[in-house]
Amino acid sequence: MTATARPAACGQPARSTLTTVTSPTLGTPPGQPDAALVERIRHTLAALGDPQRAAGQQAYMKSTMPYLGVTMGELRRAVRPLLRRWAPDRATWEATLRHLWDGASHREYRYAALEIAHHRLAAAHRLSGPEAPAGTLELARYLVTTGAWWDLVDPVATGLVRESLLTHPAATARVLREWAVDPDLWLRRTAIIAQVGAKQGTDPVLLADVIEPNLEGGAFADRAGRQDFFIRKAIGWVLRDYAYVEPGFVRQYVETRRSRMAGLSIREALKHL
């Protein structure tokens, strides 16, 4: 499902179809999720839950999907040991993270799926071989459009997508230019912030190209000519980040486009200049 406007909430809970498995599955068939790993993750995170904290997390994130009440620090400390010796083939890696993502009854299970997506032992699956970068970018698109909220979208943009861009710049840049003009605001946000953290690896031409169609008064603006908050914020964020490396570029960019930039974007871009 592709979101074409800012959603009112963060996602609906989905019921798992997996039965409980008490030991890891050995020799998982290619393209099939590692059911044992998924259940171990669910069981481990559920045991860490804090109902009182969960209520606050859900309210803060404006999420219809409930939380277990596990902090990100706790989640990473719990999940990473489970992945330490996990070395699936590419198809199993993707099937497992998709299954955990799609079957999430609580938001932490989607956060855990992102830990699988960015698992260091899966770097070869993301960056090399016949599936890269097209397969990785298709996976990223799926996570972005079904996640459709900043807490899920931003790690994909600054993780999977940025990694792909730095490794396969030409092919990834073509996709990002397409996403920058997609009706889905989360794909547009991803195209804009994908270079956050790239530092000297930032492509300034690409940066300008993905921001340009998302400035005020553009095709995706509202009747008042304003872009969605998450687009305005994204523009400011990526320019502020790049200003640490190329402050002159950012100053000039803002000055030459000031009349078409939201005040929020300008303030964020020039925050440390």
Note the pLDDT tens digit of each residue in 56-93. Answer: 999 999 999 999 999 999 999 999 999 999 999 999 99
The pLDDT assigned to 122 comes to 92
Residue 176 has pLDDT above 80, yes or no: yes
Q: What is the DSSP letter of 199?
A: G
Residue 153 φ then ψ, to 5°: -75, -45
Q: How far apart are CA 241 and CA 260, in angstroms?
A: 20
Q: Tell me the average pLDDT across 244-256.
A: 98
Q: What percent of the chain has pLDDT over 90?
A: 86
Residues in the chain: 273
| Average pLDDT value over all residues in the chain | 90
The pLDDT assigned to 10 comes to 47
Note the pLDDT tens digit of each residue in 29-55. Answer: 568 999 999 999 999 999 999 999 999
The pLDDT assigned to 28 comes to 55
| pTM > 0.85 | yes
Residue predicted with more confidence, 7 or 116: 116
What band does 22 get if pLDDT is binned at 50, 70 and 90?
very low
Residue 205 has pLDDT above 80, yes or no: yes
The pLDDT assigned to 2 comes to 38
Q: How far apart are CA 119 and CA 113, in angstroms?
A: 10
The pLDDT assigned to 26 comes to 41
The torsion defined by the Cα of 140, 145, 146 and 148, in degrees rounded to 10, comes to 110
Burial of 12 (0-12, 13-18, 19+ CB in 10 A): exposed
What the chain holds in terms of domains, given with CATH numbers, is: 1-127 (1.25.10.90), 133-273 (1.25.10.90)
